[in-house]
Structure 1
Amino acid sequence: MPGSIQVLHVDDEPGFAELTAAYLERENDRIEVVTEPSARAGLDALGSRDVDCIVSDHDLPEMDGVEFLEAVREDDAELPFILFTGRGSEEVASRAISAGVTDYLQKGSGTDHYALLANRIENAVERRRSQRAVERQKRRLETLVSNLPGMVYRCRTEPGWPMEDVEGECERLTGYASSALEDGDVSWGADVIHPADREAVRAEVLDALSDGDAFQCTYRIRTADGDVKRVWERGRGVDASGDAGTLEGFVMDVTESRRRERRFEAIFNDPNLLVGLLDAEGTTLDVNETAIEYVDATRSEVIGEPFPTTPWWSDDQQRDVERWISEAASGEYVEYEAVHGTDEEISTVVEGSFRPVTDDGTVTAIVVSANDVTERKRRERELKRRNERFDEFASLVSHDLQSPISAVRGRLELALETGELEHVEKAAEAMDRVDDLRTELVDTLRTGEIVSETERVDVGDVIEDVWIAIDPPDSASFTVVGDASIEADPDALQRLLENLVGNSVEHGGDDVSVRIGPLGDGIYYEDDGPGIDPADRDRAFTPGFSTKDGDAGVGMGLASVRQIVLAHDWSVHVDDAEILDGVRFELRPE
C-alpha cells in the first residue's frame, strides 16, 4: 500500500504485543503491524515480507534483542530498528548503539509512550525513504549529466542570460568554471556568446519562448582563452504557464574535428591532471608530463606497453585495471579511485576515469585521466574525526542539560503544590543555567574549541552556581576548604562540577555531603557516598558506566567529566575519600 509503514514487532508477551499493535495503528493510520514471538520468527518474517521498521523487545527467547539487531544488520545496515524494552541498562544501551540501533525506548506504565513510539517509527522510516529517493535521483542525474557531451544549464532571460546552475562539461566547453558563471563573475551573454551573434541569439530564443515553444539555435562562442567555437543549444522555459523568465537547456560543441582535437590537447597537457591515451586493447599510446612525474620512468619506457603493467599500478591492482579497460572498450564510462603506495602517510590517492573515444559508435581509443586527491582525503579524515569529537561533545552537553532541567521541573511542581514563589525563583535560576549551557554548545560548535580561554578560578564561587543548577535536597551540603582554585575555563569547570555533584546526589542520597579543597595546582573533590570499587575505576569515565544496578540512564556524567579534563590537559585520579567515606576525584594540570 503506497505510503503505508510496515512494522515488524517482536515480543514474546502476546498480550503486550497485541496491545502495542493496536495502539500504534490507532496513533498512526499509516502503520500496519505484524507481530512475532521471537527473534528467529522475526528473521523468518523478514525473508518473506517487506518491512519498513522493526520494533523489538530485548528479553527474547533464543537470542536477545541486541543479537537480533546484529543478525538484521548483517543483511541490511539501514533498516530502521527500534529497541523497545522494559529493561533499561547502560550495558544494553551501549551494546545496542554499537550494533547500529536506530532508536532506544523504554516501555512505560501509561499509554503516552505508544504515541512517542509511533512518532519515532514514522520519523525513522520517512528519513530512510527520503535518503533513498535522494540517492536514486542523484545517481540518475549524475549518470545523465556525466554522459552528455556538453553543458546543462538553468538561467534567467534577463540581459546577459545570468546562470543559476551549470553542470556537465562547462569548463571543457568554454574554459570557464561552472562556479564563475553561477557567481556572475562571467556573463554568458556578455563574455561567452560571440559579439556578432548576441542579438540574433536573443531574438531567436525570445521569439520561440513567446510562442511557448522550445528553441534550438547554433551560434559561436568565445572561450576564456580566446578560441572561437560553434555550439548548438536547445532549451525551453521551465514555467508551463507561459512565463519564460527562467530557461533550462543544453549546449554542446559542434566545432569540426580539428577543433575537438585541439581541445583534447589542452586537456591532455593540463598540469593538474594525470592523463593517458590508450588504444581499445589497452596499449599505452601516450601520457602527459604530469603523469610521468608520479613514477620512476620516462615516456618512452611506458609507450607501447600494456597499461596495466605500467609503473602506476601494483601487482594487486592490475586485474582491476584490466577490467576497467575492458568496460571502457565496450563503450562504458568508468570512474575509479586508487591508492598508489602502501604507507598511508606517503601514499597517493587519485580519482579518475576511463573514457571511451568513439567513431561512428566504435570505440577507437580510451582516455585515462586522474586527479590527485590525497590532500582532500586527508582533510576529509580530519573533518570526520572532528565531527566525531563534536558528536560526543553534543551528547555530553545534552546529558548535562538534564540536571538543571530536572531542577526546573521539580521546583515548578513544588510551586504548583505549595503556591510558594520561592520555588519559581529557584526554577528561574536553574533555567538560567540551561540557557548558559545552550550558549556554550553554540559557541563550541562555532569555534571548534570545547575549552575557551582559561583563568584562575575560585572553586568556591563556582560551586555556589553549581548548587543552584543541580538544586539538590536541602539536606545535602557542600564544604570548600582552603584556597581551592585551578586554572580553567569557568564555564567548562562548572559543567564538570555539576556532573560530579549530580553523581554524588544520585548515588549518595538526599543527605550527601561534598567536600572540595586545594591539591597543589589542582583541586580534590570527595563525597560520603558509596564510592567506586577499585576494580571499576579504570572504566568509570566510559560512556554507559554506572555503579547502580538496573540504572535506566546511560552513564554519561563521568564521561562528560573526562572530556572536560582532557580538553584542559589535566589528569584525573579516582581514589577513596580521605576525609569523608565515599569517593575522591583529584584534578591536576599535566
Structure 2
Amino acid sequence: MTETTEAIRILHVDDNPDISELTATFLEREDDRFAVETTATVSEGLSYLAETDIDCIVSDYNLPGENGIEFLSTVRESRPDLPFILFTGKGSEEVASEAISAGVTDYLQKESGTSQYAVLANRVTNAVEQSRSKRALEASQKRLSLFVEQSPLGVIEWNDNFDIARLNDAAEAILGYTEDELAGETWETIVSDSDASSVGDVVDELLNGSGGYHSINENIRKNGETIVCEWHNRIVTDENDDVVAIFSQFQDITERKNQQWELERDQKIIQAATSTIITVDEANTILSANPSVERTFGHDPDELVGKPLTVLMADEVAERHTAAFERYLETDQRTLDWNDTEFQGQHRDGTPIPLSVTFGEVTYEGDRYFVGVLRDITDRKERERKLEETNSLLSTLFDTLPVGVLAEDTSRNVLSINDQLLELFEMPGTPEDVIGSDCEQVATAASELFVDSEAFVERTTELVADQTPVVDEAWELQDGRTFTRNHHPIELPDGEGHLWVYHDVTDRMERERRLEALNGMTRELVTAESQEQVAEIGVSAARDILNLEASAIHLYDKERSELVPLAATDAVYDLIGDVPTFTGEDSIAWRVYQQGDPLALDDIHDDPDIYNPDTPVRSELYLPIGEVGILVAGSPTPEAFDQQDVVLGEILAGNIATALEQIERTEQVRVREQKLRAQNEQLEEFASVVSHDLRNPLNVATARLALLGEECDSDHIAAIERSHSRMNRLIDDLLALARHGNNLHETEPVDLGKLTRNCWQTVATAEATLDTDTTGEVVANRSRLQQLLENVFRNSVEHGGDSVTVTVGDLDGGFYVEDDGTGIPKSDRETVFDSGYSTAAGGSGFGLSIVEQIANAHDWDVTVTASPEGGARFEITGVEYTET
C-alpha cells in the first residue's frame, strides 16, 4: 500500500469531552500528519463535514439523538467512500454486524490503557491510504481512456482471440482503415507476408502471457502501401492478475528511426508504476529500478544499479533463483514459472516480504535483458491467513453444535452442513458429500419425513424468496417426532444466503403433553363421585399419559385381604379376558402393594401376574396407589418406565388436595423459571451498563495518569495506579456476579486434578506453590468450576503471602482447597462469603462471594475452616463424582 505524507484530517464525534480530548491528544502524538477536530453530536459532525474536507471520521456508538450507525448511514448518502471507523465502548456481535451491514470501514472496541490509540491510529492510516489509493486508481483509469482516444500513437485493442476490437483515430490514420472495416479482423490483415512468422510468435507470447511486448515489422495499409511500424504491446490485468485486455500502441517509423522518444515514454511509465519494476542483464545484475523499489524494499534505486538481483531476496530464495537462472541461460528451458511466482523477498532492514513476481525477457540489438515486476502481497497473505483461520473456527463450530445446521449461498447451493443435521434427517454420507448440492433437492428429499411434505417444501421456498427470519417453527414428522426450525438470512461476499437450524424437540413436547394430561386428569378427579369413576379416570390416565394401552386398577378389599379389579381398559379384556383378583400368595402385585414401591419389569416371562407369556405384552408397571390399591399396566415392547410417572400413583391415591398441590407445584416451577429468565435479561442489561458507563471514565483516568507520569515523578502516581487496578477488579467481579448469578448451563465430567493445574497457570501466584492430590472426575460446568478454583487460589496468594503453599485434595463427597498462610479468624468465617468482604489491599471483596455463588449453582455446599498448618481451608461438599 502506498504510504502518504499528506496531512490526514480526522473528525472525531463523541459526546464525552474527556474521551474526545484524550483521543485527539494521543492520535496527534502517534502521527504528526494527523489533525483532529472533535464534535459532540451527529448534527455538529454533519455541519462540519458539509463545510470542511476531511479524510476520515472516527465516531462513538452511543451519541445523543442518533447512534453511530445512524450517523454512518447519513454520511454514506453523500460520501459513500469516506473512511468511517466506529470506535466504541458498546461492543457486541450485534453492533459489529449492524455496523458492517451499514458499510463501516472499520470497527474498534474501546479498551483500557493507552495502547488502543496506537491501534486506532494504524486503522485510520490504513483506511485513509486505501481510500486515496482507490481515488488515484479511478483517476488513472479515466486518464488511460483519454490517453487511448487522444494518443498521437495508433492504439489497437485486441480481444481474447487476438482479433481487432477497436482502433483510435491515430491508428485509422496510420493504416488507412476505419474501425468498422477492421473490427473482427485478425492481425494478418495488416501484416506483410514477410513478417507474418515473427508477428505470429509475438501474438503467441502475448496470448500465453510470456512476452512479446515490443516488435518492429512491416504493415500493409488499406491502399496496399507497405510501411514500417514500431509496436508496443501490453497485457492489462485486474487486481486478481486476470487478463482483461490486450493493447497495442504503434507508430509509423518508415521515415524516422529515432527510438529515443519511445524509450523515454517507457521510462516514464516504469517510473510511475506502483509495482517495483527492475531490469537485469544476463549476469543477473540490476540495470535499473523504478522508485517503487524504495517503498517496498527500502533501497534507493540508484544504489541498486550494479548489484545482483539476489540482494532483494532471502538467502534460501536467492540460492534457488541463482541456480534456476543459470540453468535457463544454459538450456533456454525454465525450471520455474516466472509468471506471478510467489517467493520471500527481503527488506533492506532484514524484514521478510512476501512477493508476487512476473519476469519477461527482451532481446535488443542481440543482447538479452530481463524485466521483473514485483508486487508486495503482505496484505493479501494476511487476508488469506485470516480467512483460513475463520473457516477453521466456523468448521469446528458447525461440528460441535448440538443442533442440525445448514448454510446455503445465493444460488441455493449447500455451503456447509454438519453431521447432526444429516443424522436428524436420516441422510446418508458425510457433510463433504452434500456440500455443493442443490438445496431445493435436499429440502424435497427431507420433506418425505414430514407429515405434510408439500407444505414443508412450499414454506421453505417462501422463506427463501421473502428473506423472512423465523424462530422455533414447529414441524411434525411421520414417525411421531417434532422438529423446530430457525431461518436467518445472512450476508455473503457474493450476495445473500440462508442459515437453517433444526432441533429435535420431541422429548420436550412429550413432557408438555404429559403435564397437560395430568392437569386435565386432576380437573376430572375434582368432579368424580365414586371410586369406580376415579378408577376409570386412572386407567385412562395410564393410557393417555404413560402411553400404555393395557392397564387396570385394583382396589384393596380389607375384609378379604385381596386386591380386587375395579376398572380396566378394553385392551386388557381383549388380551386376557377377565381381570384376576390378587391375593398374598406369591403375587408380584401383592408384594408391591405391601411394600409401597413401584416396580417396572422389562421381561414378564419369568413371573407373570396378569399378562401371560402367550400375550403380546412384554413389560409391566406395578404402581401403588397408597393404601387404596394398585395400578397394573402393560406394554407390547420392553421399555424402561419413567420414574417421574409415579406421580400418577400419588395423585390417584390421595385426596383431591394432594392432586391440586402437585399441579400447583408444577405451575410454580414454570412461573419461577419465567421470572428467572426475566431477571437474567435485567442482569445482562445491568452488566452492559456497568461495562460501558464505568469503564469509559476509568479508561480516561488511566490514560490521563499515563500522560501525567510522563510529565512528572510523584509517589502518588503508583497509588492511583493501584486504585485503578482495584476498580478494574471490582468491575470484572461485578460483571461475573451479574451475568452468571446462580445460572448453570451444561455439565460434564471434569478431571479435577488437570483443571486445578491449568487454573494455577492463569493466576498470578508469585513464588507460591501448588500441591494437588486428586485424580477423580467431578460432574460440573467446566468454566464455572475453573472460576471457583481461580478465585480461591487468588484469595490464598493475596492473604497468605507470595511463598504460600496451596493444596487441593479429595473429601468424602467433595474436595478441599487449603493453604499454610495466616488463615481466617473464627469471627470472620461467617462473613467471608458476603459481597464486599476483603482484608487484602486492592481486593474487590467479591471473589469469595462468587465462589459461594458458583457452589450454589451446582447444589454444592462450601464452608471455611482452618487447615492443619493454621491457614485457610475451603471444603466443597455435595459434589457428584463419575464412576471409575
TM range (shorter): 0.3 to 0.5
Larger Rg: 2
Higher relative contact order (CA 8 A, sep 6+): 1
Per the normalisation by structure 2, the TM-score is 0.26
